[in-house]
């Protein structure tokens, strides 16, 4: 069976419509006990308190007795993987989890609503600063996005900087944060990458990037990518000052799209011919943000 370009286009439209319909029903990332839960809740994994203060309860309910209160940056350890009694708070429908924590060298156990915890965190060994991020709230259903906040804590776990952005879930099943070198960006000490990733064809990956100068975050060009083996792919990459030598205030983004012109089901994948298009966008820092100043096609 051979797919013509017209049939391929129809197939892609059907696929994207199906993905959109699923995401509008209920973001799969927040279904309790689902493979799409973006929180790292495996037994013995850890998370940090993401809110200014979080209450630990004796049972998985806000009506149960209070065991203790924990402040921003306090570490807790999951001792059971199962989420219990999902509860809607700040627009997010999330479960409670049983955790272990230490207060004044005393080990305690209790339940916490998972929306009060970080999604991921990384400690920069050179400074002792903690980079973390989590969900602050969910928008009304018609907007369908989650407000994510990135935070930096000093070595004493005091907040020294934060930055928010909208995340529109699209069946991503995993998230991670990375602290990277500044890559030649002027006045930056680090780059913080917050990634939302899919593990199946047709699910987009997005990388939200921020430079950190020691006191504040600045947004860098966002990256997205998606592919469906043998049908299409879309890839974005950044070229930083360290590599392009055009100036410390310039970042380049390359965009490549490929669409299969013909697809023979009986042939191996390496015989698929793609129609490929490439372009490059130039972003310049104006002292506050990176703005696109030029765009060109690449042969």
Q: What's the pLDDT tens digit per position in 65-86?
A: 999 999 999 999 999 989 999 9
pLDDT at 5 over 60: no
Predicted local distance difference test score (pLDDT) of residue 272: 72
pLDDT at 35 over 70: no
Predicted local distance difference test score (pLDDT) of residue 24: 35
Intervals of CATH 2.30.30.40 along the chain: 39-118
Please give the Cα distance from 72 to 157 (Å, whole number): 7
Predicted local distance difference test score (pLDDT) of residue 17: 36
Predicted local distance difference test score (pLDDT) of residue 26: 34
Q: Output the average pLDDT for the chain.
A: 86
Strands 250-264 and 232-239: antiparallel
**% of the chain with per-residue pLDDT over 70:** 84
**% of the chain with per-residue pLDDT over 90:** 72
pLDDT at 262 over 90: no
Predicted local distance difference test score (pLDDT) of residue 270: 57
- The predicted-structure confidence for 181-226, as pLDDT tens digits, reads as follows 999 998 899 999 999 998 788 899 999 999 999 999 999 999 999 9
Predicted local distance difference test score (pLDDT) of residue 229: 77
pLDDT at 1 over 50: no
pLDDT bracket for residue 7 (50, 70, 90) = very low
pLDDT at 265 over 70: no
pLDDT bracket for residue 267 (50, 70, 90) = low
Q: Looking at the domain covering 39-118, what would its CATH class be?
A: mainly beta
Q: What is the mean pLDDT of residues 130-151?
A: 94
Q: What is the mean pLDDT of residues 107-135?
A: 97
Residues 131 and 124 sit within 8 Å (Cβ to Cβ): yes
Comparing C-alpha atoms, which of 28, 74, 69, 65 is closest to residue 174? 28
Predicted local distance difference test score (pLDDT) of residue 127: 94
Output the pTM of the full model: 0.83
Please give the Cα distance from 296 to 299 (Å, whole number): 10
CA separation, residue 121 to residues 124, 130, 292 (Å): 10, 7, 30
Predicted local distance difference test score (pLDDT) of residue 230: 75
SS3 at position 100: strand
Comparing C-alpha atoms, which of 103, 110, 163, 108 is closest to residue 132? 163
Query: What's CA 233's distance to the chain center, in Å?
Result: 20
């Amino acid at each position: 069976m051979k797919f013509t370009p017209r049939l391929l286009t129809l197939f892609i439209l059907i696929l994207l419509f199906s993905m959109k319909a699923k995401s509008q029903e209920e973001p799969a990332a927040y279904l309790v006990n689902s493979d799409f839960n973006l929180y790292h809740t495996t037994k013995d994994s850890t998370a940090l308190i993401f809110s200014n203060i979080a209450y630990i309860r004796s049972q998985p309910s806000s009506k149960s007795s209070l065991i203790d209160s924990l402040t921003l940056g306090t570490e807790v350890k999951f001792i059971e993987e199962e989420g219990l009694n999902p509860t809607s708070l700040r627009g997010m429908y999330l479960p409670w989890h049983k955790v272990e924590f230490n207060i004044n060298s005393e080990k305690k156990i209790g339940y916490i609503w998972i929306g009060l915890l970080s999604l991921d965190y990384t400690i920069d060994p050179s400074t002792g600063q903690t980079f973390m991020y989590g969900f602050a709230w969910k928008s009304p259903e018609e907007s369908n996005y989650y407000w994510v906040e990135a935070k930096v804590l000093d070595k004493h776990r005091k907040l020294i900087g934060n930055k928010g952005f909208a995340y529109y879930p699209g069946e991503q099943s995993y998230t991670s944060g990375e602290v990277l070198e500044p890559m030649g960006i002027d006045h930056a000490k680090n780059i913080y990458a917050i990634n939302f990733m899919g593990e199946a064809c047709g699910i987009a990956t997005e990388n939200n990037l921020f430079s950190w100068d020691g006191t504040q975050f600045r947004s860098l060009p966002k990256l997205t990518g998606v592919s469906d083996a043998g049908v299409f792919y879309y890839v974005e990459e950044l070229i930083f000052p360290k590599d392009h030598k055009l100036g410390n205030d310039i970042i380049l983004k390359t965009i490549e799209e490929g669409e299969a012109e013909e697809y023979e089901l009986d042939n191996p994948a390496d015989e698929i011919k793609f129609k490929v298009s490439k372009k490059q966008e130039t972003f310049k820092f104006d002292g506050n943000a990176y703005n696109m100043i030029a765009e060109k096609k690449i042969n």
